[in-house]
Amino acid sequence: MRLAATLFLAATGFAGSDRAALNLAIAGTRRAPPDLSAMIVNYRREYLTGVRDAARRPPPSDFEREARGISRAILSRTPFSEVIRRTGALIGGVLSAEAPAGGEEFEKASAGPYRIPGVAAACASGDPAPAARSIRAARGELDRTRGAPDAAASRIVADETNLLWAIWTGAGGDARPAKEIDERNGPYDVPGAPR
């Protein structure tokens, strides 16, 4: 835990605390494809470094292109340490794009539980476009709801989870039938991240 907290010390682009960033980055992996989640655990240092570095910068301009690039990297047998670092950077970009200004309420909401609608069938099939559209629309939609901290934290976790599914199944990874994870089966409660 000390390593994870240290990795986030310099995060300045993400408006929340280091703990909030850690909670949200880990929470997105909880409902991700099991094999990808296991790889993230194996390469957690690379994942958290990628998250930290990207959360300090402006979000990427094209989440869909980067997700597809990570899928191609898996297919081209790029070392998994690099794949997981890039995945962490993409998740850090989600934090940078969607997180509202910090505050005590957002800090509490970042610890969960999160209420997410489920995994979109398209993302479960390897298409990152729905997640990318959701990320682009998040700031405006959250501003209209007055930036409710629990809604923002849940939205971040849902978009992270959808991106992870799109990356993994886009590379031909373990894919459950979409009907089992279709959003119509949600909403799902994702357990809180470690405190």
Assess whether pLDDT exceeds 60 at residue 149.
yes
Of the given ranges (70-74, 110-114, 126-130), which has the lowest mean pLDDT? Answer: 110-114
CA distances from 132 to 86, 113, 163 (A): 16, 23, 8
Which of 68, 102, 101, 92 has its CA nearest to residue 156?
92
Task: Report the mean per-residue pLDDT for the chain.
Answer: 79
Please tell me the pTM assigned to this model: 0.80
Q: Which residues contact 177 (CB under 8 A, 6 or more apart)?
A: none
Higher-scoring residue by pLDDT: 4, 41: 41
pLDDT digits (tens, 9 = 90+) for 35-84: 899 899 999 999 999 998 888 788 888 999 999 999 999 999 999 999 99
Spacing of C-alpha 20 from chain mean position? 13
